[in-house]
Structures are given as C-alpha cells and as structure tokens.
C-alpha cells in the first residue's frame, strides 16, 4: 500500500502555526529593540542603521508570521482583542444589505 503523505499533514500544519506564532512574537522583540536603540551609547549613524535593521526585521517577521498562521487563527485573535478593548460592552455588528 502506498502512503499519500496524509499522515504528515497535521504535524506540518501545527508546525506552521507555531512557527507563525513565534514569528509574530519575535516581531514584538524586534519592536522592543527598536525602542531601546535611541538610548544606546552609539553614534548617530550606527543608531540609524540599527533602527532600520530592527524595523525591517519587525515588519518582515510579523507579515511572514501572519502568512503562516492563517486567517482563522488571526481572526480568532482579533476577536479576543476587540473583546478586551470593548471593556465588556456588548457591541452589535450590523451589515448593510
């Protein structure tokens, strides 16, 4: 009997999800590094170069992580953020027809 490779798929999906979440979290670390750069005792040119490097790493890891995590997990995360920001208020979503 031939294997279709279906056994590897769930592990691959889980791995992609966790790598994506790790990349999104890493973007937060790069953002923290970006905030620390102005206070480092470095020359202005070095601070500017480090700022650009941290900015590119932050944006790249965030967007790559979002691409790996997928729409479903991101929408679930966004709903929980909205719930936290609404401070327990009930919000109604209306659609136009």
Residue 96 pLDDT exceeds 80: no
94: pLDDT confidence band, cut at 50, 70 and 90? Answer: low
pLDDT, residue 80, reads: 79
Overall pTM surpassing 0.75 (yes/no):
no
Q: What percent of the chain has pLDDT over 70?
A: 79
Q: Has residue 59 got a pLDDT over 80? A: yes
Please check the confidence at residue 48 and state whether its pLDDT lies above 90: yes
- What pLDDT was estimated at residue 14? 79
Q: What distance in Å separates the CA atoms of residue 84 and residue 86, rounded to the nearest whole number?
A: 6
Tell me the C-alpha distance between 14 and 4, whole Å.
19
Distance CA 74, CA 84 (A): 15
Q: Which pLDDT band, with edges at 50, 70 and 90, does 1 fall under?
A: very low
Q: Tell me which residue of 33, 26, 17 sits closest to 77, measured CA to CA.
A: 17
The Cα 51–Cα 42 span in angstroms is: 12
């Amino acid at each position: 009997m031939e294997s279709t490779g279906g056994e590897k798929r769930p592990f691959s999906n889980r791995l992609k999800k966790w790598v994506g979440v790790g990349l999104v979290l890493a973007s937060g670390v790069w953002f923290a590094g970006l905030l620390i750069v102005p206070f480092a005792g470095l020359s202005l040119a070095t601070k500017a170069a480090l700022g650009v490097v941290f900015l590119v790493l932050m944006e790249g890891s965030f967007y790559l992580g979002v691409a790996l995590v997928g729409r479903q997990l991101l929408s679930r995360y966004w709903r929980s953020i909205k719930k936290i920001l609404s401070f327990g208020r009930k919000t109604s979503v209306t659609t136009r027809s």
